[in-house]
Structure 1
Protein backbone atom coordinates (compact mmCIF):
# COMPACT_ATOMS: atom_id res chain seq x y z
CA UNK A 1 0.00 0.00 0.00
CA UNK A 2 2.85 2.40 0.76
CA UNK A 3 4.41 1.52 -2.59
CA UNK A 4 1.33 2.94 -4.30
CA UNK A 5 1.71 6.24 -2.41
CA UNK A 6 5.36 6.45 -3.43
CA UNK A 7 4.52 5.72 -7.08
CA UNK A 8 1.69 8.29 -7.01
CA UNK A 9 4.07 10.89 -5.63
CA UNK A 10 6.62 10.16 -8.33
CA UNK A 11 3.92 10.39 -11.00
CA UNK A 12 2.61 13.71 -9.68
CA UNK A 13 6.13 15.12 -9.49
CA UNK A 14 6.84 13.94 -13.03
CA UNK A 15 3.63 15.58 -14.28
CA UNK A 16 4.47 18.88 -12.57
CA UNK A 17 8.00 18.91 -14.02
CA UNK A 18 6.75 18.20 -17.53
CA UNK A 19 4.07 20.89 -17.23
CA UNK A 20 6.62 23.49 -16.10
CA UNK A 21 9.01 22.59 -18.92
CA UNK A 22 6.20 22.74 -21.49
CA UNK A 23 5.04 26.16 -20.24
CA UNK A 24 8.60 27.50 -20.33
CA UNK A 25 8.98 26.25 -23.89
CA UNK A 26 5.72 27.86 -25.01
CA UNK A 27 6.51 31.19 -23.34
CA UNK A 28 10.04 31.18 -24.77
CA UNK A 29 8.76 30.60 -28.33
CA UNK A 30 6.08 33.31 -28.15
CA UNK A 31 8.46 35.89 -26.67
CA UNK A 32 10.83 35.61 -29.64
CA UNK A 33 10.37 38.54 -32.02
CA UNK A 34 10.42 37.48 -35.66
CA UNK A 35 13.23 39.04 -37.69
CA UNK A 36 11.11 39.49 -40.81
CA UNK A 37 7.46 40.40 -40.49
CA UNK A 38 6.90 39.72 -44.16
CA UNK A 39 5.33 36.39 -44.88
CA UNK A 40 7.15 34.41 -47.50
CA UNK A 41 4.93 33.77 -50.48
CA UNK A 42 5.78 30.54 -52.27
CA UNK A 43 6.66 30.93 -55.92
CA UNK A 44 4.28 29.72 -58.63
CA UNK A 45 1.21 28.91 -56.59
CA UNK A 46 2.74 27.11 -53.63
CA UNK A 47 0.69 24.16 -52.42
CA UNK A 48 -1.94 24.70 -55.11
CA UNK A 49 0.51 24.36 -57.99
CA UNK A 50 -0.29 21.48 -60.28
CA UNK A 51 -3.94 21.13 -59.31
CA UNK A 52 -6.45 20.89 -62.11
CA UNK A 53 -9.71 22.75 -62.28
CA UNK A 54 -13.02 21.15 -61.39
CA UNK A 55 -13.99 20.42 -65.01
CA UNK A 56 -13.89 16.64 -64.72
CA UNK A 57 -15.77 14.47 -62.28
CA UNK A 58 -13.85 12.59 -59.66
CA UNK A 59 -15.91 9.47 -60.18
CA UNK A 60 -16.78 7.90 -63.49
CA UNK A 61 -20.16 6.35 -64.10
CA UNK A 62 -20.17 2.64 -64.89
CA UNK A 63 -21.97 2.09 -68.17
CA UNK A 64 -24.14 -0.98 -67.83
CA UNK A 65 -26.11 -2.32 -70.76
CA UNK A 66 -29.52 -3.55 -69.71
CA UNK A 67 -30.33 -6.89 -71.25
CA UNK A 68 -33.91 -8.09 -71.12
CA UNK A 69 -34.51 -11.19 -69.06
CA UNK A 70 -36.12 -13.88 -71.22
Structure 2
Protein backbone atom coordinates (compact mmCIF):
# COMPACT_ATOMS: atom_id res chain seq x y z
CA UNK A 1 0.00 0.00 0.00
CA UNK A 2 2.76 2.48 0.87
CA UNK A 3 4.70 1.59 -2.29
CA UNK A 4 1.76 2.71 -4.42
CA UNK A 5 1.73 6.09 -2.68
CA UNK A 6 5.49 6.42 -3.16
CA UNK A 7 5.15 5.80 -6.90
CA UNK A 8 2.50 8.50 -7.16
CA UNK A 9 4.82 10.90 -5.32
CA UNK A 10 7.68 10.11 -7.71
CA UNK A 11 5.43 10.68 -10.70
CA UNK A 12 4.20 14.00 -9.30
CA UNK A 13 7.78 15.07 -8.52
CA UNK A 14 8.78 14.29 -12.10
CA UNK A 15 5.86 16.29 -13.46
CA UNK A 16 6.75 19.28 -11.25
CA UNK A 17 10.42 19.16 -12.25
CA UNK A 18 9.48 18.98 -15.94
CA UNK A 19 7.02 21.86 -15.48
CA UNK A 20 9.72 23.96 -13.78
CA UNK A 21 12.23 23.25 -16.55
CA UNK A 22 9.74 24.17 -19.27
CA UNK A 23 8.77 27.44 -17.53
CA UNK A 24 12.43 28.33 -17.02
CA UNK A 25 13.22 27.75 -20.70
CA UNK A 26 10.24 29.82 -21.83
CA UNK A 27 11.17 32.65 -19.45
CA UNK A 28 14.78 32.69 -20.64
CA UNK A 29 13.67 32.74 -24.29
CA UNK A 30 11.35 35.64 -23.54
CA UNK A 31 14.07 37.64 -21.77
CA UNK A 32 16.79 36.94 -24.35
CA UNK A 33 14.67 37.67 -27.41
CA UNK A 34 15.35 41.08 -28.98
CA UNK A 35 12.28 43.26 -28.82
CA UNK A 36 10.68 44.19 -32.14
CA UNK A 37 8.41 46.77 -30.57
CA UNK A 38 8.68 50.46 -31.33
CA UNK A 39 10.90 52.48 -29.04
CA UNK A 40 7.91 54.61 -28.03
CA UNK A 41 6.44 51.77 -25.97
CA UNK A 42 9.61 51.63 -23.83
CA UNK A 43 11.10 55.12 -23.92
CA UNK A 44 14.74 55.48 -23.05
CA UNK A 45 15.96 58.13 -20.65
CA UNK A 46 15.08 61.57 -21.90
CA UNK A 47 17.71 64.28 -21.91
CA UNK A 48 17.35 66.81 -19.11
CA UNK A 49 16.76 69.63 -21.56
CA UNK A 50 13.07 69.74 -22.24
CA UNK A 51 10.01 67.84 -21.20
CA UNK A 52 9.12 67.43 -17.56
CA UNK A 53 12.73 68.07 -16.48
CA UNK A 54 12.86 71.56 -17.93
CA UNK A 55 13.61 74.17 -15.30
CA UNK A 56 15.05 71.74 -12.76
CA UNK A 57 18.50 72.48 -11.43
CA UNK A 58 20.80 70.65 -9.10
CA UNK A 59 21.21 71.99 -5.59
CA UNK A 60 24.48 73.76 -5.05
CA UNK A 61 23.87 74.70 -1.42
CA UNK A 62 24.83 72.25 1.27
CA UNK A 63 21.87 70.51 2.88
CA UNK A 64 23.41 70.74 6.33
CA UNK A 65 24.60 74.24 7.07
CA UNK A 66 26.45 74.99 10.27
CA UNK A 67 24.84 77.34 12.75
CA UNK A 68 27.12 80.25 13.51
CA UNK A 69 26.83 81.08 17.18
CA UNK A 70 28.72 83.79 18.97
CA UNK A 71 30.23 82.78 22.28
CA UNK A 72 29.22 86.13 23.69
CA UNK A 73 25.50 85.44 23.31
CA UNK A 74 25.58 82.23 25.33
CA UNK A 75 24.86 82.95 29.00
TM-score tier after normalising by the smaller chain length: 0.5 to 0.7
State the TM-score, normalizing by the size of structure 2: 0.49
Partner of 2:28 in structure 1?
A: 27
Residue 37 of structure 1 and its aligned partner are, at CA, apart by 4.8
Residue 23 of structure 1 and its aligned partner are, at CA, apart by 0.1
- Aligned pair count reads 41
In 2: Cα distance, 1:12 partner to 1:26 partner: 21
Could you list the structure 1 runs, at least 4 aligned residues long, displaced by more than 3 angstroms after superposition: none
- Root-mean-square deviation (CA, aligned residues, Å) is 1.9
Partner of 2:12 in structure 1?
A: 11
In 1: Cα distance, 2:30 partner to 2:8 partner: 33
Greater RCO, 1 or 2 (C-alpha within 8 Å, sep 6+):
2
Residue 32 of structure 1 and its aligned partner are, at CA, apart by 0.5
State the TM-score, normalizing by the size of structure 1: 0.52
Structure 2: gaps spanning 5 or more residues: 42-75
